[in-house]
Amino acid sequence: MQIILIQIFFINIAKFYNSKNTIHMAHIINEISRTFNEYLLIPGLTTKECTPDNVNLRTPLVKFKKGEEPAITLNAPFASAIMQSVSDSNMAIALAKNGGISFIFGSQSIESQAEMVRKVKKYKAGFVVSDANLTPEATLKDVIELKQKSGYSTIGITEDGTSNGKLLGLVTSRDYRPNRDPQDRKVKEFMTPFSKLIVAKFPITLEEANDIIWNNKINALPIIDDNQNLKYFVFRKDYDSHKTNPLELLDSEKRLLVGAGINTRDYAERIPKLVEAGVDVICMDSSDGFSEWQRDTIKWVRDNYGDTIKIGAGNVVDAEGFRYLAEAGADFVKVGIGGGSICITREQKGIGRGQATAIIDVAAERDRYYKATGIYVPICSDGGLVQDYHMVLALAMGADFLMMGRYFARFDESPTKKIMINGSYMKEYWGEGSNRARNWQRYDMGGAATMKFEEGVDSYVPYAGKLKDNLTVTIDKIKSTMCSCGVTTLPQLKANAKITLVSSTGIIEGGAHDVVLKEQKQ
């Protein structure tokens, strides 16, 4: 009986295959899936114009039509990853000051994410609406609590305690001693009264306001209307900040730019709150972006906001995935699955592609799409960047900007703890797919709202200091490499760079070898 059943089974299988008259097997891509470590750049002619000072790293963040300018252009091709252990408001402020952009992590409550966005937008501006205000009848205890809550040391004292009430005075940290003055001391007793303030009348230009600040050697200039009502503050630190950080990424109101991560579940509730907070661009955070969920999310954004809200999509690793998201209306597309240092998606699911191969394939499709439609959709290389020269390779292969997690997690500005381990300082760094983050929305495949298994790990990375110090060195390396390639802009790098594959022995040859290295001081 058993033999007869087996024979019937194989007869039915044969009938099935014969009826289809097709080959029933997976589509095999014979091309080897390669990483950045397998490539090197070949020098081009370095002309006298190819000096680091002449290199321009500006690059589009969002799509644009041929002959037009993108709505957002980065001054440096860097974005910090949408991760709990990387991108909060502090990272966003630091990176925007240096020309890049952060996407504040979305695996938190809508309210807390919106507050982080709001903090970035209010950090720096030409004309700042006062968010820290009290009445003259408030106490020193109120001042201290407000400073701790808001983070602001300059407090406007208005008749009714509002941001646009009649200005009666100003309180800064120089007006009181928190450990010696009584907590119930009234603000009116120690504030700088209006009669002693240097103020300016609205309307006034930002340049005129900065001149008043500079000529009077003050840190904050209140701007009032004809009725003495407070309208804005202009701060000296904002003027100094721009001089110190010439690449800082600003909007039309001189505020820092900031992005935010979203998911394909609660976007209808999350996006309006982020927009209200002032977010400049949003990006769907998913390990696999080739999905109808992402198409539906983009459609919702277009139906409710048109083109005013810029939304990135991804991640994908091939031409088909890019084309799907570009046609759905994505403003940029992230490329990369499983290449991050804390990502184990390839290990767990067998899904992904070597990052170099993925970028080359998607970039070619991006260019074909541009040629066919006249719309240029930037691509972001996300993951797989270990060495600084890998960044140049990714840009030369077609990436418009780079998203990194491990790189930024090492810095003071990342939100994680600095810990001493075996005599060396480390920073905590965990993936969104780890049990610690439990960001199930990022790995959502529909169905039950749970995370069934890990796709990321919990780890440490060596502490590296301040973002600005490290990013300056990285940018110097990129500019120097571009000069060796004979180019001074990223479009020139894409068009003219020469890249070669490297053998395993060639990789060994590229490092220090056949010598005994001296111990280096940490």
C-alpha to C-alpha distance for 376 and 326, rounded to whole angstroms: 9
Residue 485 is among the residues annotated as catalytic for this protein: no
Q: What's residue 129's pLDDT?
A: 83
Residue 410 is among the residues annotated as catalytic for this protein: no
* CATH of span 36-124+248-504: 3.20.20.70
Q: What's residue 6's pLDDT?
A: 46
Q: What's residue 14's pLDDT?
A: 47
Kindly name the residue from 283, 343, 380, 483 that is annotated as catalytic. 343
Segment (H or E) for 148: helix 140-150
> How many angstroms separate the first and last alpha carbons of the chain?
75
Instruction: Give the pair of three-digit tokens for residue 381.
Output: 């290389």
Q: What's residue 457's pLDDT?
A: 66
- Locus of tokens 């470590």: 37
Kindly name the residue from 283, 323, 442, 483 that is annotated as catalytic. 442
Q: Is 410 helix (H, G, I), strand (E, B) or coil?
A: coil
Phi, psi (degrees; rounded to nearest 5) at 133: -140, 145
Q: What's residue 452's pLDDT?
A: 57
Q: What's residue 432's pLDDT?
A: 72
Q: Count other Cβ atoms within 10 Å, centred on residue 176.
A: 18
Q: Which CATH architecture has domain 133-236?
A: Roll (3.10)
C-alpha to C-alpha distance for 73 and 321, rounded to whole angstroms: 24
User: pLDDT digit of tens for each residue in the chain (522 aa)?
Assistant: 444 444 444 445 445 544 555 556 788 888 899 999 999 999 999 999 999 999 999 999 999 999 999 999 999 999 999 999 999 999 999 999 999 999 999 999 999 999 999 999 988 767 888 889 999 999 999 999 998 887 788 999 999 999 999 999 999 999 999 889 999 999 999 999 999 999 999 999 888 999 999 999 999 999 999 999 999 999 887 777 777 899 999 999 889 999 999 999 999 999 999 999 999 999 999 888 999 999 999 999 999 999 999 999 999 999 999 999 999 999 999 999 977 666 666 667 778 899 999 999 999 999 999 999 999 999 999 999 999 999 999 999 999 999 999 999 999 999 998 999 999 999 998 877 666 655 545 444 555 555 555 566 677 899 999 999 999 999 999 999 999 999 999 999 999 999 999 988 777 777 766 777 777 655
> Dmax over Cα atoms in the chain, in whole Å?
106
Distances (CA, A) of 84 to 8, 119, 268, 326: 56, 17, 22, 28
Peptide bond into 203 cis (omega under 30): yes
3 state SS for 214-255:
HHHCCCEEEEECCCCEEEEEEEHHHHHHHHHCCCCCECCCCC
Q: What's residue 11's pLDDT?
A: 46
What are the structural domain ranges in the chain?
Answer: 36-124+248-504, 133-236
C-alpha to C-alpha distance for 358 and 380, rounded to whole angstroms: 11
Q: Which residues contact 363 (CB under 8 A, 6 or more apart)?
A: 379, 397, 398, 399, 494
C-alpha to C-alpha distance for 455 and 343, rounded to whole angstroms: 6
C-alpha to C-alpha distance for 139 and 403, rounded to whole angstroms: 46
